[in-house]
Amino acid sequence: MRLRHKPWAEEFITENAHIVVPNPEEQKGKWAALFGNDNPLHIEVGTGKGQFITGMALQNPDINYIGIELFPSVIVCAVEKVLAAETPKNLRLLKVDGAELENYFEKGEIDRVYLNFSDPWPKKRHAKRRLTHASFLSIYERLLPDNGEIHFKTDNRGLFEFSLVSMNEYGMKLKYVSLDLHAEMPENNIMTEYEEKFSAKGQPIYRLESQFVT
């Protein structure tokens, strides 16, 4: 994703503290209280401009959603999207690193992890940065309940192949694999910004659902 410096980003984020949670480490173990209910919590790591997480929150009001994005200049677009959707009560954003999820969540507090069009990091020496690398899978496993699930979409064949192998070697169960999601056109599919862009070019979208096995 191309990053344009936005000098106003930090101030905009602070002004929208009802959307981008400030000091999220203070909410560890307390997310149900923040949302005011015990509904399941699904997170998306690498939310980008927020179309998916906002669409999911509107589609599923009985699920709580948190979108996680590292860069201020990107998360401001997600904030604008949330505001345009009239700020669904079941949605928050965190401006944090997905590698540090354990600073913000207790074991069992998250019910599902979504990864959408994660950066592919094609060079072998950068494999550890891929969000489906074993080091990230072990973080998700420590936070999800037993048999917790990861749902992953990408246009990148190399990253998809890597992820299948990584999850298989980790001992996860693959519950669903599609090599052309849009050929199946599931009714409730919420498209991400990247998904719209790549599918418009005729590229296949790969999708999987995997589950930790106890």
Instruction: Tell me which residues are annotated as active site.
Output: 119
Side chain identity at residue 6, one-letter code: K
Q: How far is the CB of 41 from ligand SAM (least distance, A)?
A: 17
Using CB under 6 A as the binding rule, the residues of this chain from 85 to 104 that contact ligand SAM are: 97-99
Residue 28, CA distances (Å) to 24, 151, 176 in order: 7, 23, 31
Residue 72 interacts with ligand SAM (CB under 6 A)? no
Residue where the block lists tokens 């690398």? 133
Report whether 20 contacts 93 (CB < 8 A).
Answer: yes
Q: How far is the CB of 179 from ligand SAM (least distance, A)?
A: 18
Q: How far is the CB of 140 from ligand SAM (least distance, A)?
A: 12
Q: How many C-beta atoms lie closer than 10 Å to residue 61's C-beta?
A: 12
Residue 70 interacts with ligand SAM (CB under 6 A)? yes
Closest CA to 79 of 4, 13, 35: 13
Residue (102 or 146) nearer to ligand SAM, CB: 102
Q: Which residues bind ligand SAM (CB under 6 A)?
A: 1, 45-48, 68-71, 74, 97-99, 116-119, 192-195
